Amino acid sequence: MGIRHVALFRWLPDTTPEQVAEVERRLGELPGQIPELRAYAFGADVGVSTGNFDFAVVADVDDVDGFRAYRDHPEHQKVLGVISALLAERAAVQFPITR
């Protein structure tokens, strides 16, 4: 068993592509900094559906402890600081997966 963490973001209306690119750059560094991450995928919505959120992060870890280590890691907390300044809305779930 593993745990998949999913977080979806809707950005504030005046969020710029450069700000989103900076979020992506910082998220891209996390797998090298947080050993508990088993798989990590993130990206902007491709615009194929109406009413979607703008961005998704999907992190796979071994267990709840692995999720807490990711969630509380200083480097992740720094990125959350950048993200939260741009955030209009957030939805998240952590659910069990077979790995």
Interface positions with a second copy (CB under 8 A): 3-4, 6, 8, 10, 41-46, 48-49, 51-56, 58, 64, 67-68, 71, 89, 91-97
Q: Write down the least CB distance from residue 2 to a second copy, Å.
A: 10
Q: Write down the least CB distance from residue 28 to a second copy, Å.
A: 12
Beta-sheet strand order (sheet of 2-11): 39-44, 55-61, 2-11, 87-97
Closer of 10 and 78 to a second copy (Cβ)? 10
Q: Write down the least CB distance from residue 33 to a second copy, Å.
A: 20
Closer of 14 and 93 to a second copy (Cβ)? 93
Q: How far is CA 57 from CA 6, 31, 83, in A?
A: 6, 12, 12
Count of positions (residues) in the chain = 99
Q: How far apart are CA 49 and CA 53, in angstroms?
A: 10
